[in-house]
Homo-oligomer: A and B are copies of this chain.
Amino acid sequence: MRSLLIVAHGSRRQASNEEVRYLTKIISAVNSGFDDVDCAFLELANPTIPEGLENSIKRGAQEIVVMPYFLAAGRHVAEDIPDEIAPVQDRHRGVNINVVPHLGASTMMTTAILELASKTSTAL
């Protein structure tokens, strides 16, 4: 079984966490190529990254793709997310956990910006 875990920063503002959970539901509903799609948060919200990974493994994941939902490749992406994953990988040697590039690295950011910029905008 192949799972996708979308990892966001997490916020004190519940509505921001709900935006991520909603996006996760949308991706679950489309033909994503994954048997299981879930989200987890680096801090300030649940599930944490270890909890998210353990939940996927409990549901039967043999391969987990971790997708950092971050715009910049800063310390969170380069160090904190791998540090959270490492102990889970140590506990489950038979599960293949891989981290793909962060969202900001997507070539689609250009298109997304221009699509939004063409929308009816809000005058101040």
Residues of A within 8 A of B (CB): 4, 6, 8, 11, 13, 15-16, 19-20, 23, 26-27, 30, 32-34, 65, 67, 69-75, 82, 85-86, 89, 96-119, 121-124
Cα–Cα, bound, A103→B69 (Å): 12
Known: A33-B114, A100-B122, A112-B112. 16 other contacts (CB 8 A): A13-B72, A15-B73, A16-B72, A82-B124, A86-B124, A98-B122, A98-B123, A98-B124, A99-B121, A99-B122, A101-B116, A103-B109, A106-B116, A107-B115, A108-B111, A109-B112
Q: Do B104 and A19 touch across chains, with their CB atoms under 8 A apart?
A: yes
Q: Do A16 and B74 touch across chains, with their CB atoms under 8 A apart?
A: yes
Copies in the complex: 2
Closest partner residue, chain B, to A6 (CB atom): B113
Q: Looking at chain A's contact residues, is the secondary structure mostly helix, strand, loop, or mixed?
A: mixed
Report chain B residues within 8 Å CB of A26: 110
Shortest beta-carbon distance, A93 to chain B, in Å?
11
Shortest beta-carbon distance, A40 to chain B, in Å?
14
Report chain B residues within 8 Å CB of A115: 106-108
Closest partner residue, chain B, to A102 (CB atom): B116
Q: Do A124 and B89 touch across chains, with their CB atoms under 8 A apart?
A: yes
